[in-house]
Structure 1
Amino acid sequence: MRPIRAACLGTATTLVTLLACASGAQAATHTDAVHAKGGHHVITLIGHLVQQSRFPVSTRGPAQGDRTVFRSLLFDRNDKIQVGETDGTCTTTTVENGGAEECVVTYTLQGGQISVQGMVFGILTDGSPTIPPPSFDNAITGGTGEFREARGQVHADTIGTGKRRFTIDLHR
């Protein structure tokens, strides 16, 4: 199978996703209060897709088992300071009724990583990826470092070509 490069923001995560940490990470994460101990925190990040490859299982169009691999850079809520990246893979589970993918994504920020998993629905229109991709919500399944007890969800909205807003609703 040969990868197909895509210039647009693809599926989840496309998130972007989105992670080697940048020097500006500390300032942005303090602004979003992720270093506070315990409780509930909301982190807003802007993801810019920088790399995406598709690995189709068929030459006749989208099929169950197609994979998308992506990487995005993450910036603070003002889209000014790079604070990390996100990387992930999505596998097509169905092509009927708009299609669906199951995605596994890691957000790498200063202080640790946040692991996320879930479904993205409505990823196909007329047998091809939708542009812009739909909004989605995925579950936080765990984390490392400061995020080692992370639980909650991530909501993603497409806000431009190759650009998403991630709202991480973090419970510790």
Structure 2
Amino acid sequence: MSGTFKINKMRFLSVAAGITAAIAAVFAIAPLAPANASASGSAPDTQQRTRVIQLVGKQTQIEDIDLGKEGVGLGDQRVVAEDLYRDGKKVGDHSVICTTVHVNPGQLQCVGTFALPGGQFTSQALLHLPAPSSVDVAITGGTGDYRNTQGYIRTTPAGETERQLTVHIKR
């Protein structure tokens, strides 16, 4: 049973990492066009001032940390670093730490930070295992160009080390 949990935990954590990355990249790229203008890869909603940006997160490092008793247990962590891409160009970095908060059924508390030109923003989610095919992660705060950001990131796996990130940002 712990082997199945470990596999599902890894898939789920990869999804979580991708979601967080997408949110940060959106506002760093926002200066490419005014909030109510159309830009390649983004579709603004002028009534709600919502911007949707498509990103790709590519893992550069990952480490599972087994704390306490051997095997999956409370407090175990997965640390992930990713590069963020838009239209094939690197636009930022993303890091996320997921902590096991419930073993059976599995639950992970994930907190991430996106670093983009113009500022950073954070994201957070409580993930339930087994992982669904996509996960929505809340944007929880930011600095610089992202200081008043709200919204969420939808992350969908696109292979073992990549994910599609659809960032929905409101201002």
In the other structure, the counterpart of 1:104 is 111
Output the amino acid matched with 1:112.
G
Structure 1 residues without counterparts, runs of 5 or longer: 1-7, 19-24, 124-129
In the other structure, the counterpart of 1:159 is 158
- Looking at structure 1, the residues matched to 30 and 143 of structure 2 have their Cα atoms a distance apart, in angstroms, of 20
In the other structure, the counterpart of 2:97 is 89
Identity, in percent, stands at 30
Hey, which of these two has a bigger chunk of helix by percent?
2
Structure 2 residues without counterparts, runs of 5 or longer: 1-9, 22-27, 34-39
- Looking at structure 1, the residues matched to 123 and 30 of structure 2 have their Cα atoms a distance apart, in angstroms, of 24
SS of structure 2 residue aligned to 1:15: helix
**Conservation of the 8 A alpha-carbon contact between 2:62 and 2:78:** yes
1:15 aligns with 2:18: yes
Q: Given the two structures, how large is their TM-score scaled by the length of structure 1? A: 0.73
- Looking at structure 2, the residues matched to 32 and 112 of structure 1 have their Cα atoms a distance apart, in angstroms, of 20
Output the amino acid matched with 1:111.
G
RCO higher in 1 or 2 (8 Å CA, sep ≥ 6)? 2
- Please provide the CA RMSD for this pair: 3.2
- Looking at structure 2, the residues matched to 26 and 67 of structure 1 have their Cα atoms a distance apart, in angstroms, of 31
Closer, same or farther: CA 152–27 of 1 in aligned 2, 3 Å: closer
Aligned residue runs from structure 1 range 1-172, under 5 A: 11=13, 12-15=15-18, 30=33, 31-32=40-41, 39-76=49-86, 78=87, 80-97=88-105, 99-122=106-129, 134-172=133-171
Closer, same or farther: CA 26–156 of 1 in aligned 2, 3 Å: closer
Q: Given the two structures, how large is their TM-score scaled by the length of structure 2? A: 0.73
Closer, same or farther: CA 16–157 of 1 in aligned 2, 3 Å: closer
SS of structure 2 residue aligned to 1:52: strand
- Looking at structure 1, the residues matched to 100 and 164 of structure 2 have their Cα atoms a distance apart, in angstroms, of 23
The runs of at least 4 consecutive aligned structure 1 residues that moved more than 6 Å come to: none
Task: Please list the CA deviations of residues 13-69 of structure 1 after superposition, one character each: whole Å capped at 9, or x if unmatched.
Answer: 323875xxxxxx7699654459xx981101111000110111112453211110111
